Chains A and B, each alone.
Chain A
Amino acid sequence: MSYLHNIGQYFLMIKAMFRKPTKWSVMRHLIFKDIDDLIINSLGIVAFIAFFVGGVVTIQTALNMTSPLIPKTLVGFATRQSVILEFAPTFISIIMAGKVGSFITSSIGTMRVTEQIDALEVMGINAINYLVFPKFVALMLYPFLISIAMFLGILGGLAASVIGGFVSLDDYIAGIQLDFIPFHVAYAFIKTFVFAFLLATIPSYYGYYMKGGALEVGKASTTSFVWTSVAIILLNYILTQMLLS
């Protein structure tokens, strides 16, 4: 029953997010602040992880293709496919569920604990719109982050293959251009938008409706990470089934 209650309350929160909007002059500042907190401040970690995981994907692929019958261009091809289709949109999103998600839950949860949300409600402000909507708008720039992850993942693969001597530069470049299907990029960005929505709303839900004190803020952050990850993995499966099969 509590699962159903939570799901119902989550959808009511989403409805409330679009009701009684905050004054634009105030909202504009909140959106820019959240773009800075959620997108710009994540650039470093996303770039670092994407570059090195791209390199590891290349090394693993190269090391496991021992047959001389398999063309070397396949290393670049496999890296590109892995990075664009799954690594950048899905696994970066799981990482972001930890980084951005726990930030959102703890910041909104702390506002709940210290009665700052009550203060907003007493003033007659739609606190859900004030707190959640700017995060939703900011995370609509999330595909920009994923584009960087895609680029750096493939670049990391190139660096690993050339520095490690697994594949030549020409073979890698030929591989990443091999059988390119533009819809795969569209598929990746469709997923990214859906995950951005989940990243903005699920952690906000757990922060907004939390009860208790400082200890519960920590628990809410953990719960929000778990459920955001579960939702991302499930929707990844459903979207892949719908769009690619």
Chain B
Amino acid sequence: MIEVNDIHKSFGDSKILKGISTTFEKGKTNLVIGQSGSGKTVFLKTLLGLFEPDQGSIIYDGTDYSDLTPDEKSDLRSKMGMVFQGSALFDSMTIAENVKFPLRMFTKQSKSEMNDRVDLVLKRVNLDDAHNKLPSEASGGMQKRVAIARAIVNQPRFLFCDEPNSGLDPRTATVIDNLIQEITHEYDITTIINTHDMNSVMEIGQKIIFLKNGIKEWEGSNKNIFKTDNEAVTDFVYSSDLFKRVQKMYLEEDM
């Protein structure tokens, strides 16, 4: 579980996060949504420890990040898995080497133990025959699945995903969303996903927070996002015709 208490973050004169508080529960897919420039990425990078908040605290499973020494912070980070928007695979390594990398860095496992674990995880993301390919030889969807495999190979306690299905076709995006949700439940981890994809919101948004101009504007789940009367949320959600039709459908159901 991650508890966020009143975090603020500025870069020079520009205030990006203006006092966000929330709780992300274990075993749930927590979504952070909002328009571009709303502070989602800064919020995620602050949760990852890449940015120090100017004010406020972040508590990971009862441990306040600001109380930790630099080495303890690094240790905590090794318990985090991250799926970057652009996958961020190491292009000089094969897919299997990319997935094995956290094991080589942080465990004392033998080569065969590591290979077994890599096989298992690649199988879990349906990539059992891609071991020796380079990232440049893999499609966008495959790269995302490799990034997920690398993020979970060392059994993290927290999984962060920054727009995991951006640039993917709707079918592959759904596969990635479902994979993340299944892994969250299977490994019982705290997962936080940054997205502005409404399909993801509908599919896997067990908890959603909506950011606008660095402020948490709304909090809820995919069950009630279509029923909220918060103007900022409805503006965001119904910005496409498709979702206007979805709203109509929901309202008709209620009647």
| A interface residues with partner B (beta carbon < 8 Å) | 20, 22-23, 25-26, 114-116, 118-119, 121-126
Q: Which residues of B contact A121 (CB under 8 A)?
A: 50, 77
Min CB distance B16 to A, Å, is: 16
A118-B84, A119-B82, A119-B88 known; A25 vs B75 contact (CB < 8 Å): no
Main secondary structure of the interface of A (DSSP, over half): loop
Min CB distance A76 to B, Å, is: 46
Cα separation A116 to B91 with both chains bound (whole Å): 9
B80 lies within 8 A of chain A by Cβ: yes
| B interface residues with partner A (beta carbon < 8 Å) | 45, 48-50, 70-71, 73-78, 80, 82, 84-86, 88-91, 101-102, 104-106, 160
A124 engages B91 (CB within 8 Å): no
| Listed A/B pairs (20) with beta-carbon separation below 8 Å | A25-B104, A26-B105, A114-B88, A114-B91, A115-B86, A116-B90, A116-B91, A118-B50, A118-B84, A119-B82, A121-B77, A122-B49, A122-B77, A122-B160, A123-B80, A123-B102, A124-B76, A124-B77, A124-B106, A125-B74
A26-B104, A115-B88, A121-B50 known; A20 vs B71 contact (CB < 8 Å): yes
Q: Which residue of A lies closest to B77 (CB)?
A: A124
Cα separation A86 to B114 with both chains bound (whole Å): 51
Cα separation A125 to B106 with both chains bound (whole Å): 9
Q: Which residue of B lies closest to A29 (CB)?
A: B104
A122 engages B90 (CB within 8 Å): no
Q: Which residue of A lies closest to B71 (CB)?
A: A20
Known A116-B88, A124-B73, A124-B106; further 16 A-B contacts with Cβ < 8 A = A20-B70, A115-B85, A115-B86, A116-B89, A118-B45, A118-B50, A118-B88, A119-B82, A121-B50, A122-B50, A122-B82, A123-B77, A123-B78, A124-B74, A124-B77, A125-B105
